[in-house]
Structure 1
């Protein structure tokens, strides 16, 4: 099952995001095929202010564990985090 991890950054925490970014990217790369895609949400000035990560996991608990082990989460960057089951219906590269 795919899970979308949807996070919003705490206000005025861009410096934390920039500082932790290399560790965050290293963590995401370490997930291998578990990670389907990821990227930041952008504010009106096109500065990152949140995160979208889609992972394949056996359960919501496993997806939550993956999300909580992200260096961004460990650094306290996020004001909130939602994890929702998600179905890739259109342009799924695994169905091409």
Structure 2
């Protein structure tokens, strides 16, 4: 299994606009977490200009599919996004 980081660059209105899409977004995230696909996720603070979601899987498709179906992305709260493979080597939950 590999790790993939989904990076979101958030629009300036992210905090004001996210409420109407938050339940659907968090529902998707919870489902992915329950399946063991999403390891961690959240927005940066002060300023809330980026978010990071860490996925675990065979390839980056999980992370890409999440972004392509995320209501935050679909409704313009995310300016841009990208997925990068992360070569994690150590940590309390790391499994090789």
Q: What's the TM-score bracket when you normalise by the shorter of the two chains? A: 0.7 to 0.9
Separation in 1 of the partners of 2:56 and 2:71? 19
- 4+ long deviations beyond 6 Å: none
Question: 2:18: which partner in 1?
Answer: 17
Unaligned runs of 5+ in 1: none
Q: Map residues 18-33 of structure 1 onto 2, 5 A cutoff.
A: 18-31=19-32, 32=34, 33=36
2:72 matched to which residue of 1? Answer: 72
Contact 1:16/1:75 (<8 A) preserved:
no
Alignment length, in residue pairs? 92
1:37 correspondence with 2:40: yes
Structure 2 unmatched runs, 5+:
none
State the shift of 1:94 in Å. Answer: 4.0
Instruction: State the distance in 2 between where 1:2 and 1:75 align.
Output: 27
Instruction: Give TM-score scaled by structure 2 length.
Output: 0.79
